[in-house]
Amino acid sequence: MQQILILGAGYGGLLTALRLQPQIKQGNAQVTLVNAVDTFNERIRLHQLATGQTLKRYSIPRLLKGTGVKFMQDYVRHIDPNEQRITLDHDVLDYDVLVVALGSRIDRSVISGIKQYAYTLERQSASDLNKKLQRGGKLLIIGGGLTGIEAATEYAERRGVDVQLVTSGKVSADVSSNGRDHILKTLQQMGVTVTEQVNVSSIYEHHADSSIGQLNYDAVLWAGGFTASPLVAESNFTVNATGQMLVHDTLQSVDYDNVYGVGDCASVTLTSGEAQRMACAVAMPMGAHGADNISHYLNQTTQEPFQFAYMLQCISLGRRDALVQFVDADDTPKDRILTGRKAAWVKEFICRYTILSLQLEKRFPGMYWYPKVAQEVEQNILAKQA
């Protein structure tokens, strides 16, 4: 019986574990899932947590009950792929097949002062930010991507909070022009002060130094980019500039055939020739495909290349508005968008569907579906490259 060890119970890791149930029942494998906490972190809702909204908590042991997957709550301290051994705080585990699904974290190394003075949209920090602004105040948000926009609009709906959003580039640069126009118009209507092309050089307790002078605030939220778990690079896996494990299209590590990378901590090149972006929308398909290929690995059958087609991006703009940006399979934004309450409903449905997908996969392993690159899309991509 093969020992399969999964590190990380986020969107990708948890789906991998649930999808491997047939291998457990057939006696082919014992699956162990390791995570630092025993509750699932619904990361796509943390901007809601930061404004004091109550989020439902999902117990990982309860999600795994009856599946045969063993859960261990512990911190991973070291990965030794040569010895096929994992060191935890309270145990040492050996494996035959390893799934690294340790996710990503907000990069705090970009400018000085982030670690000491800035809040981030990570669970504990988001909760602390809510307490800080319980009675209102001025909030400076640094970063004009999805994280910054969702946080700005969520706080703009909250009485007594004055929101300023600054970014080194353009707000929502990755959406279509009409999508960006809607976001900017919404931010303006909600009273958010938006300043683009601003370089922040350092952060202090009550102000930040920037290319347009000193920016004062009661609290500052860093909404910059992400980096993979440092354990990946520390374990001598081949990584890219953001610390993601490089994997083949089968999701196997380029260094070890019995190691798979899924979710934000791994980087796979899609059919478009681009690496996938860090997102729940890709982590779950990677988890599903990783589990399927592990089943092939155990049964000594041919593993399949990972194929994935983007369909849309969803950005919440408070509780009553959102932007649904339709995209091509390679994530290029189309002109078509959906806004207003209908878009807010779509965004909420997708958030709920992620949890429902996990619950359905528990009951019906193999049920999770995700869009793959169609032949027509592949032909369009090849035509562009010609």
Residues 292, 312 share a domain: yes
Residues 145, 70 share a domain: no
Mean pLDDT of 146-173: 93
Residues 67, 33 share a domain: yes
Grade residue 373 by pLDDT with cuts at 50, 70 and 90. Answer: low
Q: Print the domain residue range for 276.
A: 2-106+226-385
209-262 tens-digit pLDDT: 999 999 999 999 999 888 899 999 999 999 999 899 999 999 999 999 999 999
**CATH number of the domain that 255 lies in?**
3.50.50.100
Residue 340 has pLDDT above 60, yes or no: yes
Strand 2-7 versus strand 213-216 pairing type: unpaired
Mean pLDDT of 113-129: 95
How many independent structural domains does the chain possess? 2
**CATH number of the domain that 136 lies in?**
3.50.50.60
Residues 249, 155 share a domain: no
Residues 231, 193 share a domain: no
Residues 235, 214 share a domain: no
pTM recorded for the entire structure: 0.91
Residue 289 has pLDDT above 80, yes or no: yes
Grade residue 20 by pLDDT with cuts at 50, 70 and 90. Answer: very high
Answer for the pair 154, 146: CB distance below 8 angstroms, yes or no.
Answer: no
Residues 150, 101 share a domain: no
Question: Which of 172, 197, 222 is a domain's end point?
Answer: 222
DSSP code at position 305:
P
Residues 282, 149 share a domain: no
Coil, strand or helix at 187: helix
Residues 234, 349 share a domain: yes
Answer for the pair 165, 141: CB distance below 8 angstroms, yes or no.
Answer: yes
Residue 160 has pLDDT above 60, yes or no: yes
Residues 97, 51 share a domain: yes
DSSP alpha helix (H) spans, the chain = 11-19, 21-25, 46-49, 60-64, 114-117, 123-132, 146-156, 177-189, 230-234, 280-299, 340-363, 375-385
Coil, strand or helix at 386: coil
39-67 tens-digit pLDDT: 999 999 999 999 999 989 999 999 999 99
Q: List Cα–Cα distances, 349 to 42, 150, 299, 343, 357, in angstroms.
A: 14, 16, 37, 10, 12
Question: Which of 222, 245, 277 is a domain's end point?
Answer: 222
Residues 42, 150 share a domain: no
Note the pLDDT of residue 382: 43
Residues 367, 247 share a domain: yes
% of the chain residues with pLDDT over 90: 83
Question: How many CA within 13 A on the CB side of residue 149?
Answer: 26
Question: Which of 195, 222, 249 is a domain's end point?
Answer: 222
Grade residue 329 by pLDDT with cuts at 50, 70 and 90. Answer: confident
Residue 384 has pLDDT above 80, yes or no: no
